[in-house]
Amino acid sequence: MQDHASRPSLDNAIALQKFGVGQPVRRKEDDTLVRGKGKYTDDFNLPGQAYAFIVRSSYPHGIIRGIDTSAAKAMPGVLGVWTGTDLTAANYSPFTCGLPLKNRDGSPLHQTNRMALMTDKVRYVGDPVAFVVAETLAQARDAAEAVALDIDELPAVTDAADAAKPGAPQLYDHIPNNVALDYHFGDTAAIDAAFKSAAHVTRLDIANTRVAVVSMEPRVGLASYDKAADHYTIQVPTQGVAGNRANLAKNMKLPNERVRILTANVGGSFGMKNINYPEYMCILYAAKVLGRPVKWTDERSTSFLSDSQGRSQDIHAELALDKDGKFLAVRLSGYGNLGAYITGVAPSPLSLNTGKNLASVYRTPLLGVDIKCVLTNTTLLGAYRGAGRPEANYYMERLIDRAADEMGIDRLTLRKRNFIKSSQMPFAAASGVTYDSGDFQGVFNKALEIADHAGFAKRKKDSRKQGKLRGIAIGSYLEVTAPPGVELGKIVFEADGSVKLITGTLDYGQGHATPFAQVMSDQLGVPFDRIKLEQGDSDIVHTGNGTGGSRSITASGMAIVESSALVIAKGKTAAAHLLEAAEADIEFSGGRFTIAGTDRGIGIMELAERLRDSKVPDGVPSSLDVDHTTEPVPSTFPNGCHVAEVEVDPDTGVVQIVRYTGVNDFGTIVNPMIVAGQLHGGVVQGIGQALMEKISYDTSGQPITGSFMDYAMPRAADAPPMTVGDHPSPAKSNPLGTKGCGEAGCAGSLSTVVNAVINALADDGVTHLDMPLTPERVWRALQDARKTKAA
């Protein structure tokens, strides 16, 4: 037996100091992506592929009387033109919402049962009704324009409150008043009593505007069909291949194993690319019929019509307080705008998620949510970065600022009086969830210190000398991350000396490869640069809920920790055999298995190689590979306090964010550089909604924000200098102690930016403004307030 004498594991120790948990390691993929070497779905092509183009309704609402495809079929290069009748014959299932949400009477939410192509009615501008496949994209586009639609136009409704009124245009015969879900949460009698006994009640009507996702990469699909195997493959950007394959297979009425989803690099999603869409069903159908691959790539103008959108609530918010400003109860009522169809998780952000996150970091004994999720003649709604979390925190922080002004209590003092104390953890919130950790007062104090809140009065005076109005706002937030779900942790020691990690989340901008490798390197001592991440092939990634709801590092992190423990257990058995020792005497540390009390041992990489090249007796593992699925990974509760400082030009209404501070509790931070990047992106996304973004429709139901000429997006000049601080309280619900971070920037910035602008205008009498706070809106509010004061 060869003696594997061990020298001190100095190299491993140095590597862990550089690449272990907590280190700001540069992202593995940056060299590829920054140099333009990434491969996105539109970069892929297959021999003999054809091109699809979708025919969409230009009417917001109407009855389909006929679709004439004869002229299109006769055009050069056209391989086929199909309508909903053809896809109905294929016996596809409709798109439905699988969430177990119930109406206040206990009945399930109403399903819209959307088909891939509509045959009865069109319900929004952009509703797909047919598609063309041709030899070239230009030929497909030309032919699509030749498809003649015979549609009897019906009255349309785009506002949720209007759609729920008696006599409003009805989108579905089986859904009275267009209310798909009448959501209720809370003890109504107790909440009513609390409001009745309150010394003060603050009330606000708040519009949380509809926004477009506008990811850098549009949606795209490349479908193929293997006739011999009766098997479909589609290359498509997703947020997780396992769940999306299951949904796609369900819609096609096929077992999962007959459908394969491939996802390469993804240029953003924010929730939008995590559902099945009609276009994918169309190209899969055509690939089978034509016996050749079919490709479809969305265009930016149609992305504004076809992609799911976000937010879209009109809320009446109320906060009840006692004479000292202690919160007694909070409640929301109002409407959420679902758009024309329900798929994916659409109703949840408008209802359940809003309620779960409303209490935030405050001791609020009672909480009520009554929101009608209503169907309208608009593009469908879906998850959008935060999916109810930023919305709920926005409502709470707006209420607190208004209550402080109405009661004459300092805004900071009012918050301090109502923070949940760290000594009260675990804390059962009125939302029905239990927070396991957090020091909300400590986060708050650190944010004030870093932001130099005490020096604001001088800065405000200096701004006034320059003719500018300066405002500041402090906003705390807390998020309840994605609900519990299982996750895959598969580890494979490859023959080339690399180690493959396979997990069911998916990177579409988060930078998974680096922190996941840091965790694995920390657990197993495997060299950081040998770890390769695989997430994009549903034939390999058999389990997982994908990336969404700020769950990735928690879910995949737990999977890595548990899988690593299984690797170590197998390694101890194998090392005992190779080192001729009792398994009970084998220890593992820093990537080496050693015999306790000796210097004899073997490194994990060498052990994996020896097992691969040797025959082992029964009872000894032949490899260190593991394929493990976790039990459901619990939600976590990231939180923080953000401080925004703005200057407003009273002559133009232009808002400039001049200082921004965010102190956050993300628990254990695996890679602080990546976390800071996620936070920066989320803050800017929130700024976009707060100051400029809004999807709008005219009175007939036509969208009037269908391009970047009409829909404003934040640019580099709109991003403020940011100071980021940490005040972690590690989560107790997962072995790493991590909490999510991807959506926190939105949750913190919405309220702080809006409240800061209102604070800047407060001296002139402005007490409320709805997003977006465009220069015209700000200027007009300021002029109206000054006229009122003068009168």
Question: What integer is the mean pLDDT of 221-242?
Answer: 97
**pLDDT for the residue 16:** 56
Please compute the mean of the pLDDT values over residues 387-409 and round it to a whole number.
Answer: 97
Predicted confidence at residue 632, as pLDDT, reads 94
Q: Are 536 and 504 in contact (CB under 8 A)?
A: no
Q: pLDDT tens digit string along 155-168?
A: 999 999 999 999 99
Nearest CA to 472 out of 759, 767, 761, 772 is that of 759
| Cα distance between residue 451 and residue 469, in whole Å | 18
Strand order in the sheet with 231-235: 78-83, 128-134, 50-56, 294-297, 220-226, 231-235, 259-262
pLDDT in tens, 427-440: 999 999 999 999 99
> What residues form DSSP beta bridges with 153?
62
- Alpha-helical (H) ranges within 488-643 are 513-524, 552-579, 604-613
Contact of 382 with 373, CB cutoff 8 Å? no
User: What is the rounded average pLDDT of the residues 640-649?
Assistant: 98
* Paired strand residues for 341: none
Report pLDDT for 13: 54
Question: What is the per-residue pLDDT for 570?
Answer: 97
How sure is the predictor about 353, in pLDDT bands with cuts at 50, 70 and 90?
Answer: very high
CB of 288 within 8 A of CB of 86?
no
Mean pLDDT, residues 724-753 taken together: 96
652 is written with which tokens? 């133009």
Residue 348 has pLDDT above 50, yes or no: yes
Residue found by looking up tokens 């909440």 in the block: 191
Please report, for residues 272, 637, 701, the alpha-carbon distance to residue 481 in angstroms, rounded to integers and kept in the order given: 17, 6, 35
**Does residue 455 sit in helix, strand or coil?**
helix
Which residues on neighbouring strands pair with residue 330, listed in sequence order? 319, 367
User: What residues pair up with 309 in beta bridges, in sequence order?
Assistant: 381
d(CA 16, CA 352): 42
Is the pLDDT at 671 greater than 90? The verdict is yes
**Displacement of CA 154 from its chain's centroid (Å):** 35
How far apart CA 286 and CA 467 sit, in angstroms, is: 63
CA distance 499 to 420: 44
Nearest to 189 by CA among 321, 319, 371, 331: 331
The Cα–Cα gap between 160 and 337 comes to: 5
Kindly give the residue spans of alpha helices, DSSP state H, lying in 75-129. 84-89
pLDDT at 3: 39
Q: Which contiguous run of DSSP H or E holds residue 665?
A: strand 655-665
| Mean pLDDT within 303-319 | 97
- Kindly state the tokens that stand for 87: 């896809």
What residues contact 36, with CB distance under 8 A and at least 6 apart? none
Band (pLDDT 50/70/90 cuts) for residue 2 is: very low
The contacts of residue 394 (CB under 8 Å, 6+ apart) are 206, 208, 750, 751, 754
pLDDT tens digits for 190-219?
A: 999 999 999 999 999 999 999 999 999 999
User: What pLDDT was estimated at residue 791?
Assistant: 77
Read off the DSSP letter of residue 257: G
Separation of alpha carbons 381 and 85, rounded Å: 26
For residue 50, list its beta bridge partners: 294
* 17: confidence class by pLDDT, cuts 50, 70, 90: low
Note the pLDDT of residue 263: 97
Least confident of 1-10, 626-635, 703-712: 1-10
Partners of 265 in the β-ladder: 40
Residues with Cβ within 8 Å of residue 145, at least 6 apart in sequence: none
3-state secondary structure of 46: coil
Q: Of 756, 778, 772, nearest to 397 (Cα)?
A: 756
> In the structure, what pLDDT confidence band is assigned to residue 5 with cuts at 50, 70 and 90?
very low
In this prediction the pTM is 0.95
Instruction: With a cut of 90, say whether residue 770 has pLDDT above it.
Output: yes
- Residue 413 tokens read as 């003092």
Instruction: State the DSSP code for 217.
Output: S
Digit-coded pLDDT (tens) for 453-506:
999 999 999 999 999 999 999 999 999 999 999 999 999 999 999 999 999 999
Give the separation between CA 510 and CA 553, rounded to whole angstroms: 10
Q: How far apart are CA 783 and CA 400, in angstroms?
A: 26
Q: What is the DSSP letter of 357?
A: H
pLDDT of residue 8: 38
Q: What is the DSSP string of 309-340?
A: BEEEEEEEEEEEE-TT--EEEEEEEEEEEEES
Closest CA to 548 of 513, 583, 518, 504: 504
**Cis preceding linkage at 772, omega within 30:** yes
Helix (H) or strand (E) holding 416: helix 411-418
What's the DSSP call for residue 433? -
CA distances from 382 to 273, 355, 678, 736 (A): 10, 17, 21, 31
User: How much is the pLDDT for 143?
Assistant: 98
Q: Where are the alpha helices (DSSP H) in 473-603?
A: 513-524, 552-579
Place of tokens 């180690």: 499
Please answer whether residues 183 and 373 qualify as being in contact, where contact means their C-beta atoms are separated by less than 8 angstroms: yes
Tell me how far the alpha carbon of residue 203 is from its chain's centroid.
30
DSSP bridge partners of 331 = 318, 368
| pLDDT, tens digit (0-9, with 9 covering 90-100), for 247-279 | 999 999 999 999 999 999 999 999 999 999 999
Task: Please give the share of the chain, as a percent, with pLDDT higher than 70.
Answer: 98
Range list of β-strands (E), 44-191: 50-56, 62-68, 78-83, 121-122, 128-134, 148-153, 179-185
pLDDT (0 to 100) of residue 709: 94
| pLDDT value for 6 | 39
Residue 138 CB: number of other CB atoms within 10 A?
Answer: 13
